[in-house]
Chains A and B, each alone.
Chain A
Amino acid sequence: MAGLAASFGSGAMSNSMDDVAQQAKAFFIIGSNTTEQHPVFGTMLRRAVRFRGAKLVVADPRRIDITEFATLHLRQKPGTDIALVNGLMNIILEKGWEDKAFIEERCENFDEFKATVMNYPPEKVSEITGVPVEQLYEAAQIIAENKPTAVIWAMGITQHISGVRNVMDLANFQMLLGYMGKPGGGVNPLRGQNNVQGACDMGGLPNVYPAYQPVTSEEAQAKFQKAWGATSNLKVGAVVTEMMPGILEGRTHALYILGEDPVMSDPDTHHIRKALEAIDFLVLQEIFPSETSAYADVLLPGVSFAEKTGTFTNTERRVQMVRKAIPTQGDARDDWWITSEIAKRILAATPQRVQPEAPFAGWEYRDASAIMDEINVVTPSYAGITHARLEKGERLQWPCPAKDHPGTPILHTKALSRGKGRFMPIDHVPPAEEPTEDYPFVLSTGRVLYHWHGGQMTRRAKGLLEIYSEALIELNPDDAARLGLNGKNRVRVTSRRGSIEAQAWVTDRVPPGMVYANFHFPEASANELTIAALDPVSKIPEYKVAAVKVELVR
């Protein structure tokens, strides 16, 4: 979300799903397989198109399901999103469709940005992206004429080495058209996991404290020093994609992992395995033995969502209750209890570390709501969000700065969070790895409707497994014919980092020259192939483009 933060000063979905679905005149979906990854929101968009006549432009190399509802489907080459978006903006400026008043009053740095966009005439963009010139014009016209258009994206935009720049360019796009701060418009990144938003909000990031208070700020440091009686230094910490290589480089010696499975979900599995083999100590708090637990020294049984009370924050900043429905299974414990027990033990051994008189120095929590009470004090955007209010049925979206504040469904309605929105000149950067003679295919990766992430949950759901029982590699019929595939064969997909074998699904969902794989099944996880090339700012790996070769398995 670094891209949005740079442009607007705030890095979350600007609007609510409801106002996007009900009030947008058009949608521009780029890099989101909405109906499979956010299915219920996907159906809201389908409803808008079917029953409200909203227009839909989808930009995606794959013929994903929602293209069935699209007014126009642009099939850009993987990793050419910036060129595409710049090309559309070039046309918008050429036609004079930009919102001049919005740019004048609420944005800055327009001229520098415009100079960059001028370098992307439609013909050149068509060459880079593979999208015909007339389709570029048509898309620009649909989006410019249907006011406002909501831009919606997900990992298809961020999981590139240019991910942050992709996001900034989409922010440019919405500022150019004046679609910010309006119901039905805005920038709408869809968060992948149920509580990604909350994990970020709560300081689960190396650069910020809760509510995005920067660790580099002395003011923030002082605030938490005072609240907790101790805190960390002013240096930005390591991201997961730095921690792992750090093991082999002697920087990382211990890992405490809560409910994650880096062997499945991180890029370049081979490399991750090597790293985890070398770590001094790995404690994993999980509900299932996972691919990662093979490397753990200690495995602490946490609980599933059905066994816990707390809150999740969804993609539109809505904080909602999770309620305990059943007792914890076996001798498992609440995850918050486990964490606080570890904390208490360490603090007991090194009492000098904290100033005990600090209001939140201790770790004695009665229950999850008591933790929320502490969050209220140190997290300005959550200051007014309490379990009591949520239990009363109040519907709260942060920022909610006070106990009597109704929450904020749409951001940036009056002014952008940083005052004026900043246009960022962004240039196209080719993907880290492009097809070569030896690796002639582009691999893109993602999830499918019936499974979830590393598959720990969904591979243990019988019905889901019945419908989608094994990894499938999507392969275009032309390529399949060239490889001599008859639709029954398995294929071997090999990158410079690894190789997997799986059943081919011959389908024109993927264009010729592209294959698509998921990472739900350990026996054929796409992340054996992916490249750990990171966006320089967000450190998000480029899951969406890798060069591979495809062979028939006889």
Chain B
Amino acid sequence: MTNKKIKYQPIQPEILELAAAHGNSPEAVLEVLNDIQAEHGGLSRQRITDTARALGLPAHRAYGIATFYSMLSLEERKQVLRVCDGPVCWLKHASVDAWKKKMPADDYTVERTSCLGLCDRAPAVLVDDEQAGPASPRDASRVTRGWRGGPTDYSKPRRGELRVMTALIGRIDPDSIDDALSHGVYDGLQSALQKTPEEVIAIVEASELQGRGGAGFPVGRKWKFVAAEKRTPRYIVCNADESEPLIFKDRVLIETNPHQLLEGLLIAGYACGASEAWIYIRGEYESQARRLENAIQQAEAKNLLGENILGSGFSFKIHVHRGAGAYICGEETALIESLEGKRGEPRLRPPFPPSYGFRGQPTAVNNVESFCAVPHILKNGADWWKSLTGYTTAGTKVYMVLGHVKNPGLFEAPFGLTLRQIIKMGGGMAEGSKFQFALCGGAAGTIVDKSLMDVPLDYASSQKGISLGAGAFLICDQSVSPVAFLRELLHFFAAESCGKCTPCRVGTWRSLEILNRLAAGEGRAGDVEELKALSAVMLDSSFCGLGQSVPIPMNSAMKNFGKAFEEAEK
């Protein structure tokens, strides 16, 4: 019996309406909570409980979500300024406290946030849902008046760039499908629709396209698994939850050419026999999400999406799903959980998403950049793609070079670049800067000294001690302490660990505690030893890729800069 002491008030009509607007689907719990927060500036236990009841979920499910995603708040707030404290912004002296002092406290809640994916605009902040940067506390008053800084201009290629996916940057209006069409976007789709799905997969497989999320799994093989599953419906999911510090390429690809991504999803859907796709985009990319929604509408109007596309008999829908602040959702099974309206916690694997993915159905999950490469391969052929590089790994890659270089930002080039070449693409070391170390791949990459400068990079090079990851490189000069730098990375991982498994939940927290001490010059004997032990147990025993990859920067930093750590211990 329902307990008599508990009086259940009727669900607030507003929440019933919001739930109904999302089809009363339990999957939509995050969206409903997002909507409530947008309306009221925050949630409350009552609203959370009502949301759960309206969607037929237990209260803890909605509360678990409300407290999991960092952008959701139990308290009502007027405006929120989120200050990025990722390692790139840290190099630029980002400070939450300084912002707090400068912003009008009555109107703005100022809080830290993990990397905003605006590394080329560092130091960056998020004003409600608007991206801003470079912006320092000195800009506070103009920020309150609506100033947001400006996006980096990538319309001119750097010397040595080879542009495929980034070719149309600055040459088309990203909000105009006509512009896109007149520049050949959707030609790859046309070409695909004239082939059988099997042929499309064969081409992608022949192109040796590897997944661009960082792991490098062959895209064609993944699609083959999905297509081979008997069960329908099958789904395509685009991982646009780009939340790892240093990485912002997907944001640029979306904001400069959204139709290229839609085209890639369409081809994937056709090849895999899928009917629907979801683009899971991080909540901090609101303007990019809107751009995608606009592009989807335009594509639907041209029958490039929807029923019987271009008379081919192929029907396909694309949805945009916003995250709400959780790095872990970049892990593909956590992303799927989140898409299903749950906490973004990784699933047990196997089964893998190609056989058991979204809603338990066969699902292909790929990175934005992977999808963006596909139309070009369909249009120009697998051999063309392979011919773009003289290196063993096929095709081009979008790189990000950051930190103490003259000209930080993004560029596209074939595989096989060395760190030395990448620094050169970044215009060389900044004035007065001498190379000390680089963080390679992303936050979960390797911290290398100059000894690995000349290793050609691809997905296999991590075995040599230097990783490519998602293609981001943070170059640090002599002014940066490797110990303090590692502390910043652990600060990120501790903030973003989902908490599911013991080694990652406690290991990241404890490692941060030790590194805080070491970086502050208060190290104790045994600290480095303990860090190594924690790193070992996180690597061996963590549940998912997050915990397993935290030791990569830890071990490489301690190995390559052992002396700095030893000194910090004393």
Q: Does A touch B (CB under 8 Å) in the complex? A: yes
Q: Write the residues of chain A forming the contact surface with B, with a CB cutoff of 8 angstroms.
A: 36, 65, 448-450, 467-468, 472, 487, 505, 509
Q: Write the residues of chain B forming the contact surface with A, with a CB cutoff of 8 angstroms.
A: 1-5, 7
CA distance A35 to B259 in the complex (A): 54
* Closest residue of B by beta carbon distance from A39: B1
**Minimal beta-carbon separation of B58 from chain A (angstroms):** 11
Query: Are the CB atoms of A467 and B3 closer together than 8 Å?
Result: yes
Q: Which residues of B contact A36 (CB under 8 A)?
A: 1
**Minimal beta-carbon separation of A423 from chain B (angstroms):** 37
CA distance A450 to B7 in the complex (A): 17
Instruction: List 4 extra interface pairs beyond A449-B1, A509-B2, CB under 8 A.
Output: A65-B1, A65-B2, A468-B1, A505-B4
* Closest residue of B by beta carbon distance from A505: B4
Query: Are the CB atoms of B5 and A467 closer together than 8 Å?
Result: yes
Q: Which residues of A contact B2 (CB under 8 A)?
A: 65, 509
CA distance A36 to B2 in the complex (A): 10
Q: Which residues of B contact A65 (CB under 8 A)?
A: 1-2
Q: Which residues of B contact A449 (CB under 8 A)?
A: 1
* Closest residue of A by beta carbon distance from B8: A507
CA distance A525 to B2 in the complex (A): 21
Q: Which residues of A contact B7 (CB under 8 A)?
A: 487
Most A Cβ at <10 Å: residue of B1, B4, B5: B1
CA distance A65 to B1 in the complex (A): 6
Q: Which residues of A contact B4 (CB under 8 A)?
A: 467-468, 472, 505
Q: Which residues of A contact B1 (CB under 8 A)?
A: 36, 65, 448-450, 468
CA distance A505 to B6 in the complex (A): 11
**Minimal beta-carbon separation of A535 from chain B (angstroms):** 27
Q: Which residues of A contact B3 (CB under 8 A)?
A: 467-468
* Closest residue of A by beta carbon distance from B56: A68
**Minimal beta-carbon separation of A267 from chain B (angstroms):** 23
**Minimal beta-carbon separation of B24 from chain A (angstroms):** 16
**Minimal beta-carbon separation of A468 from chain B (angstroms):** 6
CA distance A468 to B3 in the complex (A): 8
The SS class assigned to the B binding surface is loop
Q: What total count of A-B pairs have CB within 8 Å?
A: 16
**Minimal beta-carbon separation of A294 from chain B (angstroms):** 29
CA distance A487 to B8 in the complex (A): 12
Q: List 16 A-B contacts (CB under 8 A).
A: A36-B1, A65-B1, A65-B2, A448-B1, A449-B1, A450-B1, A467-B3, A467-B4, A467-B5, A468-B1, A468-B3, A468-B4, A472-B4, A487-B7, A505-B4, A509-B2
**Minimal beta-carbon separation of A397 from chain B (angstroms):** 30
Most A Cβ at <10 Å: residue of B2, B3, B5: B2
**Minimal beta-carbon separation of A216 from chain B (angstroms):** 43
CA distance A487 to B2 in the complex (A): 16
CA distance A487 to B10 in the complex (A): 14
* Closest residue of B by beta carbon distance from A507: B2
CA distance A181 to B3 in the complex (A): 39
CA distance A40 to B3 in the complex (A): 18
**Minimal beta-carbon separation of B70 from chain A (angstroms):** 31
* Closest residue of B by beta carbon distance from A447: B1
Counting from the closest, the 7 A-B pairs by CB-CB distance are: A449-B1, A448-B1, A36-B1, A472-B4, A505-B4, A65-B1, A468-B4
Q: Which residues of B contact A509 (CB under 8 A)?
A: 2
**Minimal beta-carbon separation of B5 from chain A (angstroms):** 7
CA distance A487 to B4 in the complex (A): 12
* Closest residue of A by beta carbon distance from B1: A449
Q: Which residues of B contact A472 (CB under 8 A)?
A: 4
**Minimal beta-carbon separation of B1 from chain A (angstroms):** 4
CA distance A450 to B3 in the complex (A): 9
Q: Which residues of A contact B5 (CB under 8 A)?
A: 467
CA distance A83 to B546 in the complex (A): 62
CA distance A65 to B2 in the complex (A): 7
**Minimal beta-carbon separation of B57 from chain A (angstroms):** 12
Q: Which residues of B contact A468 (CB under 8 A)?
A: 1, 3-4
* Closest residue of B by beta carbon distance from A33: B1
CA distance A417 to B86 in the complex (A): 77
Q: Which residues of B contact A448 (CB under 8 A)?
A: 1
CA distance A119 to B3 in the complex (A): 43
**Minimal beta-carbon separation of A222 from chain B (angstroms):** 50
Most A Cβ at <10 Å: residue of B2, B4, B7: B4
CA distance A142 to B84 in the complex (A): 56
* Closest residue of A by beta carbon distance from B3: A467
CA distance A218 to B5 in the complex (A): 58
CA distance A65 to B4 in the complex (A): 13
**Minimal beta-carbon separation of A392 from chain B (angstroms):** 39
CA distance A174 to B5 in the complex (A): 40
**Minimal beta-carbon separation of B257 from chain A (angstroms):** 45
**Minimal beta-carbon separation of B9 from chain A (angstroms):** 11
**Minimal beta-carbon separation of B251 from chain A (angstroms):** 41
CA distance A141 to B133 in the complex (A): 63
**Minimal beta-carbon separation of A272 from chain B (angstroms):** 27
**Minimal beta-carbon separation of A115 from chain B (angstroms):** 42
CA distance A226 to B1 in the complex (A): 51
CA distance A505 to B1 in the complex (A): 13
**Minimal beta-carbon separation of B270 from chain A (angstroms):** 33
CA distance A36 to B1 in the complex (A): 6
**Minimal beta-carbon separation of A47 from chain B (angstroms):** 15
CA distance A472 to B2 in the complex (A): 13
CA distance A472 to B5 in the complex (A): 11
**Minimal beta-carbon separation of B7 from chain A (angstroms):** 8
Q: Which residues of B contact A467 (CB under 8 A)?
A: 3-5
**Minimal beta-carbon separation of B3 from chain A (angstroms):** 6
CA distance A450 to B1 in the complex (A): 8
* Closest residue of A by beta carbon distance from B5: A467
CA distance A487 to B9 in the complex (A): 12
Q: Which residues of B contact A450 (CB under 8 A)?
A: 1
**Minimal beta-carbon separation of A46 from chain B (angstroms):** 13
**Minimal beta-carbon separation of A464 from chain B (angstroms):** 12
**Minimal beta-carbon separation of B484 from chain A (angstroms):** 51
CA distance A467 to B1 in the complex (A): 11
* Closest residue of B by beta carbon distance from A450: B1
CA distance A347 to B373 in the complex (A): 100
CA distance A323 to B322 in the complex (A): 60
**Minimal beta-carbon separation of B2 from chain A (angstroms):** 7
CA distance A65 to B3 in the complex (A): 11
CA distance A448 to B3 in the complex (A): 10
**Minimal beta-carbon separation of A174 from chain B (angstroms):** 29
CA distance A509 to B8 in the complex (A): 12
CA distance A65 to B5 in the complex (A): 16
**Minimal beta-carbon separation of B25 from chain A (angstroms):** 18
Q: Which residues of B contact A505 (CB under 8 A)?
A: 4
CA distance A509 to B1 in the complex (A): 10
**Minimal beta-carbon separation of B56 from chain A (angstroms):** 9
CA distance A195 to B7 in the complex (A): 36
**Minimal beta-carbon separation of B392 from chain A (angstroms):** 49
* Closest residue of B by beta carbon distance from A64: B1
**Minimal beta-carbon separation of B502 from chain A (angstroms):** 27
* Closest residue of B by beta carbon distance from A35: B1
CA distance A94 to B4 in the complex (A): 44
CA distance A390 to B553 in the complex (A): 63
CA distance A472 to B1 in the complex (A): 12
* Closest residue of B by beta carbon distance from A487: B7
CA distance A467 to B4 in the complex (A): 8
**Minimal beta-carbon separation of A453 from chain B (angstroms):** 15
**Minimal beta-carbon separation of A515 from chain B (angstroms):** 15
**Minimal beta-carbon separation of A500 from chain B (angstroms):** 17
CA distance A449 to B7 in the complex (A): 17
**Minimal beta-carbon separation of B11 from chain A (angstroms):** 13
**Minimal beta-carbon separation of A444 from chain B (angstroms):** 15
* Closest residue of A by beta carbon distance from B2: A65
CA distance A467 to B2 in the complex (A): 11
Q: Which residues of B contact A487 (CB under 8 A)?
A: 7
CA distance A509 to B2 in the complex (A): 10
CA distance A509 to B4 in the complex (A): 12
CA distance A448 to B7 in the complex (A): 17
CA distance A449 to B4 in the complex (A): 11
CA distance A450 to B2 in the complex (A): 10
CA distance A487 to B7 in the complex (A): 10
CA distance A101 to B3 in the complex (A): 48
